[in-house]
Amino acid sequence: MSLVFPDRESLTDLGSYAARAKVLDDEGAMRLQASGTTVAAYVGILAGRGLMGEGAVLGLRVMALAEPVDLDVTLPLAAVTDRTARPSPHSGPVEFVLPPVTVNPVWAALAPPRSGWEPVAEVAADVVNSVAREGISEVALGAPEGSGAAAVATLRQRVWTTMSRTDPALPAGLALAAYGLGFVVEGEPLRLYAHGRWTRLSSSVGHALMR
C-alpha cells in the first residue's frame, strides 16, 4: 500500500511535519486517513486521560494526493521520517510506500468532528507563540534532571491543560501543538473554534485539536 503525492516537495513537507512531531514526542505516531485524493495526517501531542481521552491534544494537516486511495493506518513517527528522508530526485508524482510496522496509540481511537465547528475568536500569532514558550519554560523548570517519568507526565498534563491568561484565553496545549508543529505563521491570526468537548486552533498551515 502506498500514497502518491503530487511532487517531491509534498513528500518532503510530510517528512518535516513528522520530524516536528517527533521533537514533541520521540516515541510518537502519525495516523494517516486517506479518502480519494486527500489525506488527513494526525499526530499525538498529549495522550489525555481516561477512556474519553480528556486533555488529549492532536495535530492535523490535510494534504493533497496525486492518486485516489482509501486507507486508515497509524505509523511510528520514526518510520515516517525514515521513509521521507530521501525523496526521489525526479520531478512529478512521488510514491510514499507505507512502512510495514503499525502502532495503536490510545489517541488514535479519538475521532475529532469534521464539521459543525463554531467560531469562538481569533488569536494573534505572537500570543500563541508566547503561551507555548511560557508553558515550555514552566515544564523545564518544574522537571529538573532526575525527575521521575510519572512526575513529569503529571506536570506536563497540568501545564498544557491550563487556560492561558490571554484575551481570548485558550488551552496552553493548543498553543504548544501549533507552535511546535509549525502552524503559526507570522502576522496571520489563528482561529479558535469549539465543538462539544473539542476545541480547535487553526491556521492556513494546519490545525491543533484538544478534547
Domain boundaries, the chain: 2-109, 118-194
User: Exposure of 16 by Cβ count < 10 A (0-12 exposed, 13-18 middle, 19+ buried)?
Assistant: middle
* Choice among 85-94, 109-118, 184-193 with the minimum mean pLDDT: 85-94
Nearest one of 53, 49, 69, 63 to 13, comparing CA atoms = 63
Instruction: Let me know how long the chain is.
Output: 211
- Cell 503561551, residue? 131
Centroid of chain to Cα 173: 11
Say which CATH class 2-109 falls into.
alpha beta
pLDDT at 150: 78
The per-residue pLDDT of the chain, averaged, comes to 92
pLDDT digits (tens, 9 = 90+) for 69-100: 999 999 999 999 999 987 666 778 999 999 99
With contact defined as beta carbons under 8 Å apart, do 88 and 8 qualify? yes
Q: 18-72 pLDDT, tens per residue?
A: 999 999 998 999 999 999 999 999 999 998 776 556 889 999 999 999 999 999 9
Is residue 142 predicted with pLDDT exceeding 90?
no
